[in-house]
Amino acid sequence: MAGIIGKKIGMTSVFSVEGKNIPCTVIEAGPCVITQVKTAETDGYDAIQLGFGDKKEKNTTKAEFGHFQKAGTDPKRKVVEFTEVEGDYKLGDTITVDVIQEEGWVDITGVTKGKGFQGVVKRYNFRGVGDATHGQHNRLRAPGSLGASSYPSRVFKGMRMAGRTGGAQKTIEDLKVLKVIPESNLLVVKGSIPGAKGSFVIINQ
């Protein structure tokens, strides 16, 4: 199986054999239910759709409810399609964290924390002017010049300016799997991952 859906629990740290303190993230990975099996004959490509996290029936549309009913499962909050599939999987099968290899490497995709409207110092790590002894006024965190005046008399597209920050999909590649705990459906990876506590993430091997 190419991957699995999970939920970020939070961060902690573990000690290595050498005694080093390693920051890590704990993820609740699965169990996921196969809600649809796509084949090249019927859909034009091979893929498996996984569902994770229970959803209230009153918040589910009739079309969604019928879709999940075919798989013999309750409505799910998060549905993701995986195209790289190895093995024979059937509709309604359960995928657990066992598909992730311990001491292996994974790519994790999530939505970063939304920070709202931010200036250039926070958004793009601008330095700011800083030196207050040479006639500096109150422009410590300003972006500086946005372009020439007489020509081209406009701001070029792509200029790094203040604006809404975060809330974007991001993938962190090559995170080492430190531990897999099947009885608790937990996955421990080295380092940090995108998203707030309780947010959904996609784990790809």
**Using alpha carbons only, what angle is made at residue 196 by residues 193 and 197, rounded to the nearest 5 degrees?**
100
Match 């080295």 to its residue by tokens: 190
Say what the pLDDT of residue 131 is.
66
Question: Domain 3-115+169-204 maps to which CATH number in 1.10.1330.10, 2.60.40.10, 1.10.240.10, 2.40.30.10?
Answer: 2.40.30.10
Query: pTM of the predicted model, to two decimals?
Result: 0.84
Say what the pLDDT of residue 1 is.
62
Q: What are the residue ranges spanned by the domains of the chain? A: 3-115+169-204, 116-165
Nearest to 20 by CA among 193, 139, 190, 199: 190
Say what the pLDDT of residue 20 is.
92
Say what the pLDDT of residue 83 is.
87
pLDDT per residue rounded down to tens, the chain (205 residues): 678 999 999 999 999 889 999 999 999 997 999 999 988 898 898 899 999 989 898 998 999 999 899 888 899 999 999 987 777 888 888 889 988 888 889 999 999 999 999 999 999 999 877 666 666 677 788 888 898 989 999 999 999 999 999 999 999 999 999 999 999 999 999 999 999 999 999 999 8
* Distance, first Cα to last Cα, the chain: 8
Report the C-alpha gap between 36 and 32 in whole angstroms: 12
| Helix then strand then coil, % of the chain, to nearest 5 | 15, 40, 45
